[in-house]
Amino acid sequence: MELAQLDFPFCQSIELAKQIPTTGFRYHWKAEADSFGLTIRIWLGDTEGVPFQTCITRTIKSQECKNESPIQEMWRRVLEKIDRQDFIIVNGN
């Protein structure tokens, strides 16, 4: 199913985190999906999500998504992070 830009007038995001043992720091991973594609940000930060360094940002255009839509691509990647890398959900909308 292809979604037209007008059928997808919103943005959905989710943030995951993974505790780093012995340091108290966390790896943070945030994805934002909209009609143009998926933007993923990764950074090292504290427990509140404040980055210690700059974020690494990756943009995946909607036509480059492996799944039918950026939302489905985002959830595929979220489930992979949770299942394989022990990340937890810390924020989403």
Q: Each residue of 78-91: pLDDT tens digit?
A: 999 999 999 999 98
- Across the strands, what pairs with 13? 32
Evaluate the CA torsion angle 79, 81, 85, 89 in order and state its sign: negative
CA distances in angstroms from 5 to 1, 8, 19, listed in the order given: 13, 5, 37
Task: Pull the structure tokens for residue 37.
Answer: 């594609």
The SS3 call for residue 49 is: coil
Domains of the chain: 13-92 (2.20.140)
Residue-wise pLDDT tens digits, 2-52: 444 444 555 689 999 999 988 889 999 999 998 888 999 999 998 888 888
What letter represents residue 90's amino acid? V
pTM of the model: 0.81
Task: Pull the structure tokens for residue 41.
Answer: 């940000």
